[in-house]
Amino acid sequence: MSDTAAASPSSTSTVASEAQRRRTFAVIAHPDAGKSTLTEALALHARVINEAGAVHGKAGRKSTVSDWMDMEKDRGISVASSALQFEYAPEGHTGEPYMINLVDTPGHADFSEDTYRVLTAVDAAVMLVDGAKGLEPQTLKLFRVCKARGLPIITVINKWDRPGKEPLELVDEIVTEIGLQPTPLFWPVGPAGDFRGLARLDRDGEVQEYIHFLRTAGGSTIAPEERYSPDEASEKEDDAWDTAAEEAELLAADGAVHDQELFLECTTSPLIFASAMLNFGVHQILDTLCALAPQPGPRESDPTVVEAAASSAGAAIDTVRGVTDAFAGVVFKVQAGMDTNHRDKLAFMRVVSGEFTRGMQVSHAQSGRSFSTKYALTVFGRDRNTVEAAYPGDIVGLVNAGTLAPGDTIYAGRKVQFRPMPQFAPENFRTLRAKTLGKYKQFRKALDQLDSEGVVQILKNDARGDASPVMAAVGPMQFEVMQARMMAEYNVETVTEPVPYSVARRTDAASAAELGRQRGVEIFTRSDGALIALFGDKWKLAFVEKEHPDLTMEPLVAD
């Protein structure tokens, strides 16, 4: 049973119409495929910025709006997801503009957990593929995660202005490697490295027109377009157009045409070729998202919580929350230090249902506590604006919202509690301590803050004390982020040291005593209270499992 009774008919109608114009998606890819550059280009084409921030050359390089950390600017990579919200009206669109909620994600495998959390908060994904490199390891992994989650994917072959693979070769690679059929909507005219424009195809694969792009200085502004009929294109581009038309016709004959139902089922993927750096094909990506990406839909409660509520006398919880039901939202990220002028913490919440209004009283599903949402913001990179109302699909930043953590549910009306966020098993471990004792107080404050964000997992035990906890992470670059942020945001210089462990398992109090007596095993308590056993290596774990099959040693991965 859902809580539609909590909303009046007029507000239900408003929520439905607002949800219909929302498009919430993530940009995901392997490192250096151009995610942040594309994010900047999408904002440029929506005319919410005047000039793209990414330019050629190290000396003149600017940071993109979505890469705001010093570490991101210095290295030219994204190490944390970043949300942008803006309106966009496709050419010829007559109604209200679409509200775009875009999340740029880190591509490096060390930050996979952040990316995977984002994928629980969006309705579609734009997967970027480097035209020269094709499907790289992280691209493959993310493709498979999207398919497993039932997240529709729009594929963009980026960097077509540079030498690369043949377009048909890239299509075949996607089909062969991941079993996803690309369905071209915009096919390149000119080979990789000689990107002249795009052939626009209809949903049956028929060529409709030629869009010719004109270069601008450094690709910093919107690239002008010239449009030609197929006959005019053949005369203008000669062999390049004929080749593009023949390849498009070949794919259509092979059944690679758009089918909306198959797209939403993650069987096919609309395909667009682009150059984010030159702003070629960018508004075509936005137009495709507006036309094809799903609007916000209902979300199921965590089955284990529903089952527990059913067995408890008098407990009631929604099994499904529809978009027009009473307000509910899910926190997918917590971030501090986004603005040196505001020493606060932002909990990024995806609105799942109903209308969110600033100052409304909501309940925290995990603790049962009630709190007010007086300080609520929309975000654009690190820039912030107070939000008065938000609707399904929107991403809202709640300032200093108590103890909210990734995966938490907040709601009004009838209780709902969504599935927890996925957790990855850490494979890298190091101790962390302040370089000077005089900074211990700031060290503890920074540690608690960054731990609550999930930058790393913090493990403690009595033997090591609070001054030298162990950090557990998916990848070693997370340790660098931890140290860099401690220095930048809390002025605490830290030192890390290796520990002789590479495998972690969850255990319980009954098993911890015996495990702690084993050579090469150490027991810790994680900040959420879980008991964690660290083992020297997988062979040590296998030996202990064989010798003590009755002890609890569970993987640290949550579905």
456 neighbors 482 (Cβ within 8 angstroms): yes
Tokens of 90: 């496709």
d(CA 39, CA 19): 22
User: What are the beta bridge partners of residue 99?
Assistant: 22, 87
Contact assessment for residue 283 and residue 45, using Cβ atoms and an 8 Å cutoff: yes
Which 3 state secondary structure label does DSSP give 282? helix
Q: Count of H helices and E strands in the chain?
A: 15, 29
Question: Binding site annotation covers 108?
Answer: yes
Exposure string (b/e) for 326-356, b if CB count within 10 Å is 16 or more?
bbbbbbbbbbbbbeeeeebbbbbbbbbbbbb
Element (H, E) at 22: strand 22-29
Is 106 known as a binding-site position? yes
431 labeled binding residue? no
Strands in 51-196 per DSSP E: 82-88, 98-104, 124-130, 153-158, 181-189
213: amino acid identity, one letter: F
- Give CA–CA dist 471/468, Å, rounded: 9
**Is 107 labelled a binding residue?**
yes
Write out the two tokens for 259: 């089918």
- How open is the CA angle 42-48-49, to the nearest 5 degrees? 85
Yes or no: say if 16 and 7 are a contact pair by the CB < 8 Å rule.
no
Nearby residues of 64 by Cβ (< 8 Å), 6 or more positions away: 36, 37, 39, 40, 52, 53, 54, 381
Residue 436 is assigned to a ligand binding site:
no
Binding site for GTP, by residue number, is 104-108
Binding site, by residue number, is 104-108
